[in-house]
Structure 1
Amino acid sequence: MQEWGRPVGDANGVFADGVVPVSIVLVETDEGITGIGLGPHVEIERIFAAIEGEDPRAVTTLYDRMLRHTFKAGHAGPVFGTIGALDTALWDIKAQLAGQPLWRLLGGRDRRVNAYASGLDIGLTDDELVAEYEVYASHGLRAAKLKGGLDIDRDRHRLGLVRDVLTEAGHGRRPGLMLDVNEVWTRKQAVRHVCELERSLDLIWIEEPVRRWDAEGHAAVSRGISASVATGENLTGLEQYRPLVAAGAVDIVQMAAVWGVTHFLRVSALAHAHDLPVSPIGNSPVGLLHAATSVPNHLTSELQDLHRPVGVSIDLHVEDGAFILGDSPGLGVRVDEELIRAANRRLQAPTADSPNVRPERAGRRLLAGVDGLAAVRPVPAVSLNSHNEVTPTAR
C-alpha cells in the first residue's frame, strides 16, 4: 500500500487517511529469477495459463497470447491490468536474464525521464497545497497537475497558488499547469469551465474532461479551448484509442502504469504515427519510465508521491525535475513481502465513497457548492481485497 500521510483524491472522492492499495504480482522462473509487475490479479489463473511454461523472453508474443485467453469475455478493466502486470513482470525477467536495466534493453540512450508533479490534492487546504508543491519544487519540478473540476473559482485560486510556488522556485520562469477532472463534466461544462480559467491562467492541458470513450465530446472540448486535451489512462486496449485519434479528440495520449510495458509501446507507436506526444500516468510507473526512454514522442511522466509503496524499493531517484533510472538489471524493483503483509492488516474496511466510484451527480451539477463539493468529502481508505493483495508467486 501507499501511505501518503495526508488526504488524497479527486473530484470523485477522497481517501481521508491517505492510505491507497498497491497491487503486486510476482512471477518466478525455473531458473530462479523473479519478475515483478505492479497491477491486479483478477482472473490470473486463466490468464497465466497463456504463459505458463513458456520462454519469458518471448514477451510481446506472450502478451498477445494473454489477450487471446480473454477473447470471449473481453479484456476490460482489472483483467487488462492483470495482463499488464504479468507483461511487466516478463519484461523484468527478460532484462534480468540479459543482465541489463530494462531501459537499456529497450534501446534507451538516456536514463533521465522528464516528470511533472501530481499530488492528488483536491482534499488539501490552501496551506497544505502550498507546502506540498514546495516539496515538489525542491526536487526541481516546474510543472504540476492539480485535481479539480467542481468549482471554477476554487480551481482558479488553487492553480494560482501552485503557479506562484513554481514561479518562485524557477526564478520567474513560467511554470507548466494542468488540471485533471476525472470525467466529471459534460461537454459544455468542460468548455465553459476551461475557458473561464484561461482568462487568467495558461493551461498546458485539461485531463479527462468528459467520459473516456466520448471521442466526439473530447473533440468538441479540444475545439472550444486553447489548452490541449489529455486522455487515455483508462482505455484498456489499443483499439480504444482509434476513435479518439481519428476524431482529433486527443492532443496528449496517456497510458496508465498498470496496463503494462507492451501496451505502452504499442500506443506510443500509434500516437507517433499521428505526431502526438505521450505521457504515462500512475504512482511509481516504473515499467513505463523504462519504456519511455526508448520512444521518440515521450513528453513527460507523472510523479505522484515521492515515497515508495510500503515494502517496495526501486532503483531510481528524482533530481532536477526528472526520474533518474538506475543500473540494476530489470526494473530495479525489490519487494519485502513480510512488510507488505503486515501493512495489509492495518487497512480499513472497503467503502463505496472513494475516488474509484463515480458520484451519482457527476455530469449533472448545476452550481458548485450546492451538490458538487459533497463529492470530495474525506472517506476511509479502501482495503485490499482478493483482487488487491500481494499475489502468491505464480508458477
Structure 2
Amino acid sequence: MRIVDFRIVRFQFARDRVIGDSQVRIAHAHVATLELIADNGMVGLGFVPSLFNPLPSQAEIERLFRAEIWPGLEGQSPAALAHKLTRPRGGNIRGASLPFGEGLDQALWDLAAKQVGMPLWKLLGGTKSRVKAYASGLDFHLSDDDFCALFDHAASIGYKSFKIKVGHPDIERDLHRLDLLVKTVGKPEAIMIDANEGWSPQQTVRNMNKIRDAGFDILWIEDPCLRYDFEGLKMIRQGCPFTLVNSGEYFDAHGKRQLIEAHGTDMINVHGWVSQVMRIGWLAAEHGIPVSLGNSFLEIGVNMALALPEVEWLEYSFQNFDHLIEKPFEIRDGWIYAHDRPGHGLVLSETARSEWAVPEVVANEDLPPAPVNTRLPH
C-alpha cells in the first residue's frame, strides 16, 4: 500500500453552546478533515482543528499541505510512516504553518490498521471491550439553569461520573456549582474538577481543603496551577492527599515525560495524537501512573484508551461534531465501547462533505445555526 493522493475539506460552524473554562470561551468550531488516499482505494481520516480562530480557505489549506507535508508522504507506506522516528535538528525543529500533525498521525494509523483489516485499538494491542466515560460539561460560561440541564441529561442517560470547570476568582462560585451538580445528579460515583491553571499552588491547597470541608469528595483536580511548576504540583500532591492531581494536558510528549519524571502528577492526561499517547502510556505504565484520556476529536482516543493498561477514564463533553461522520462510537450507561470497524472507526460523512463544507472563510455572525447535537435533547 502506498499513499497516492489526499483530500481536505474545511468546516466552520456555530457550536450548540458556548464552551470554555476559567481561561477561554469558545462559541464556534473550526476544523478541516484530512483524507489520505492509498493506491488500493483505502482512505485514512484525520482531523485538523483550530480551537480559537477560523482556518484559512480550503484552497490555502491544500496549498500549504501540498508544499509542506505532501513531499514526505507521496508514494510512502502509511504503516512505515506511522512508526517512523526522526531526530529533527537545527532549522528542522519547526511546526507546519497549520496544525496538521495530529490529523496526519490519525490518518496514517487509520490506513495502517485498515491495511491489515483490524480495528486500530486491536492493532495497538487492546484487549478491553469498553472504558469508563465521564460527562464533562465544558461548563464554565453556562448559566446555572443550562449547567443543571446538561448534567441532568447526562445522568438520565447513564453517566455516573462528572467533571466540572472551576477556577473562578471567588471560590464560593465553585462551591455553588458543586452543590448544584450534586443536587442535580444525586450522589455521583466520582466528581472531577478542572481549574485550567486558574490557581496558584497555595490557592489550590486552600481551595481543595475548603471543597473537602464542604462535604465534596473529589477524585481529581485537573491542571490546578501553571504546567511547568513541577515543585508547585508536588506541593499540591503533598498538601491534598485526599485527592489526585491530574495534569499534562498542555504538554507534548517531551513535556509529559518531564512531568512524570519530576513526580509532578498522580495521573497523566493525554488526548488524540495516537503515536504520542501510546509512547506516553508506555512510560506511565513503567512509573505506575494511571492515564486519563481527555477530549479527543469525536472520541477517536477510545482506540488508545482500549489499548493502554493504565487508562481508567475517557472524557465525553457533548460537543456537536457527530454530523461530520457516518457513525460515532457507542457510549452507553457511562461506558464507551470498542468497535469492530477496520481502522480507527470514523469515516467522513458524505452529507457533511456536500452540505456542511465551508470552503471560504465566513464571518462568525454569518454562519448558519449550529447543527443538531444528537447526543442532547432537542
TM over 0.5: yes
Cα distance change on mapping 1:313 and 1:343 into 2, 3 Å: farther
Instruction: List aligned pairs for 1:230-269, cutoff 5 A.
Output: 230-237=246-253, 239-257=254-272, 260-269=273-282
User: In the alignment, what sits opposite 1:34?
Assistant: 43
Per the alignment, residue 309 of structure 2 pairs with 296
**Match for 2:357: what amino acid?**
R
- C-alpha distance in structure 1 between counterparts of 2:121 and 2:218, whole Å: 31
Match of 1:179 in 2: 193
Pick the aligned partner of 1:189 from 203, 214, 218: 203
Distance in 1 separating the partners of 2:290 and 2:90: 30
Amino acid at match of 1:281: G
Structure 1 residues 347 and 264 mapped into 2: Cα distance closer, same or farther (>3 Å)? farther
Q: State the distance in 2 between where 1:111 and 1:48 align.
A: 36
1:156-235 matched pairs, under 5 angstroms:
156-167=175-186, 174-200=188-214, 201-225=216-240, 226-235=242-251
Which structure has the higher relative contact order (CA within 8 Å, separation 6+)?
A: 1
What CA distance in whole angstroms lies between the structure 2 residues aligned with 1:204 and 1:299? 12
Spell out, residue by residue over 1:308-355, the C-alpha distance to the aligned partner (whole angstroms, 9 max, x if none).
344223341210101123222212212242233249766517xxxxxx
| 2:79 alignment partner, one of 46, 57, 70 | 57
* Secondary structure of residue in 2 paired with 1:22: strand
Task: Give the Cα–Cα distance (whole angstroms) in 1 for the partners of residues 228 and 204 of structure 2.
Answer: 15
Task: Give the TM-score taking structure 1 as reference length.
Answer: 0.77
The yes-or-no answer on 1:326 pairing with 2:339 is: yes
Secondary structure of the 1:244 match is helix
| Deviation of the 1:272 alpha carbon | 0.6
Question: Structure 2 vs 1, CA of residues 10 and 196 (structure 1 numbering), >3 Å: closer, same or farther?
Answer: same
For 1:10 and 1:3, the matched residues in 2 are separated by 18
* Structure 2 CA distance for partners of 1:21 and 1:111, relative to 1, 3 Å: farther
Q: Whole-Å Cα distance in 1 between the matches of residues 180 and 144 of structure 2?
A: 8
**Larger displacement relative to structure 2 (199-208 or 280-289):** 280-289
Offset at 1:221? 1.6
Aligned mate of 1:155, from 174, 181, 201: 174
Residues 290-321 of structure 1, C-alpha deviation per residue, up to 9 Å, x if partnerless? 12111110010110116434422334121010
Range 1-10 or range 109-118, more displaced: 1-10
Q: Given that residues 205 and 229 in structure 1 are in contact (C-alpha distance below 8 angstroms), is that contact kept between their aligned partners in structure 2? A: yes
Tell me if structure 1 keeps the 8 A contact 2:16–2:320. no
The answer for unaligned runs of 5 or more in structure 1 is 350-379, 381-395
Extract structure 1 runs of 4+ deviating beyond 6 A: 76-79
Report the Cα distance in structure 1 between the residues aligned to 2:347 and 2:128, rounded to whole angstroms.
23
2:5 alignment counterpart: none
Q: What is the CA distance between 1:271 and its match in structure 2?
A: 0.6
Taking a change above 3 Å as real, the CA distance of residues 29 and 77 of structure 1, as seen in their structure-2 partners, is: closer
Contact 1:230–1:250 (8 Å) recurs in 2: yes
Give yes or no for contact 1:315–1:325 (8 Å, CA) kept in 2. Answer: no
Q: Give per-residue Cα distances to partners, 1:43-78, cap 9 Å, x unaligned.
A: 74434433332211224433x24xx45863635798
Question: Which position in structure 1 is the counterpart of 2:297?
Answer: 284
2-structure distance, mates of 1:142, 1:177: 9
Identity %: 29
Q: Secondary structure of the equivalent of 2:77? A: coil
One-letter code of the match for 2:244?
Answer: S
Question: Structure 1 residues 298 and 59, CA, compared in 2 at 3 Å: closer, same or farther?
Answer: farther
* TM-score, scaled relative to structure 2: 0.80
- Alpha-carbon displacement from aligned partner over 1:75-123 (angstroms, at most 9, x marks no partner): 57987x5322211111101111222221222222233121111111011
Shift of 1:13: 3.0
2:161 counterpart letter in structure 1: A
What CA distance in whole angstroms lies between the structure 1 residues aligned with 2:236 and 2:149?
33
**Secondary structure of 2:355's aligned partner:** helix
Report deviation, 1:231. Answer: 1.1
Distance 1:32 1:69 in 2: 32
Is the contact made by 2:22 and 2:140 (CA closer than 8 Å) also made in structure 1?
yes
Structure 1 equivalent of residue 100 of structure 2: 82
CA distance in 2, matches of 1:147, 1:7: 13
Tell me the SS of whatever aligns to 2:284: helix
**Compared CA separation, residues 48 and 77, structure 1 to 2 (3 A):** closer
- SS, match of residue 334 in structure 1: coil
Q: Which sections of structure 2, spanning at least 5 residues, go unmatched?
A: 1-11, 50-60, 368-378
